[in-house]
Amino acid sequence: MYQTAKALKQYFSGFGLPAYSQDSVPEDVNLPYITYSLSEPEWNQKATMYAQVWDRSRSNVLILQTADQITADIGEGKIIPLEDGYLVIWPESPLVQLMTDGDYRSAYINLSINAYHTPGYTPPEEGD
């Protein structure tokens, strides 16, 4: 599970905002940020996961632009290398839902994840 947690944190932190698993958001964190569910299915099985882009604003522009960046990057499926295999993330339907909670706004992104752990696996080099 540690490899999955590390890989998901690194992936979701790559969109210009801090990212945290949904159960580890610091109390003193400043908005905007991304949260994601930390899911690791059994080998070669599918699990549901999601990401949320959070902001406190009267505008939805930042959260929707970031949601668009994430969904465009995932496309029809995103492979994230692990030390002993890889994760595959792909979109689910409905893909993005806009949600509000008082002053907080979020774009809720529905995803699925598969985990493939294969001893001796070496991730391909970029461009292979």
Q: Is 70 part of any domain? A: yes
**What region does 77 belong to: left with phi over 0, alpha with psi -120 to 50, or beta?**
left
For 84, phi then psi, to 5°, come to -125, 25
126/74: higher pLDDT: 74
Query: ∠9-77-44 over CA atoms, to 5°?
Result: 80
pLDDT of amino acid 18: 95
Q: Is 123 part of any domain? A: no
Count structural domains, the chain: 1
Residue 110, domain extent? 2-117
Q: Is 40 part of any domain? A: yes
Q: Is 125 part of any domain? A: no
Q: Is the pLDDT of residue 128 over 70?
A: no
Can you give the CATH number for the domain in which 62 is found? 3.30.2000.20
Q: Is 11 part of any domain? A: yes
pLDDT tens digit sequence for 99-112: 777 777 777 777 77
Q: Is 122 part of any domain? A: no
**Closest-CA residue to 57 (of 114, 109, 100, 118):** 100
Q: Is 7 part of any domain? A: yes
pLDDT of amino acid 109: 78
Q: Is 126 part of any domain? A: no
Name beta bridge partners: 102.
Answer: none
45/55: higher pLDDT: 55
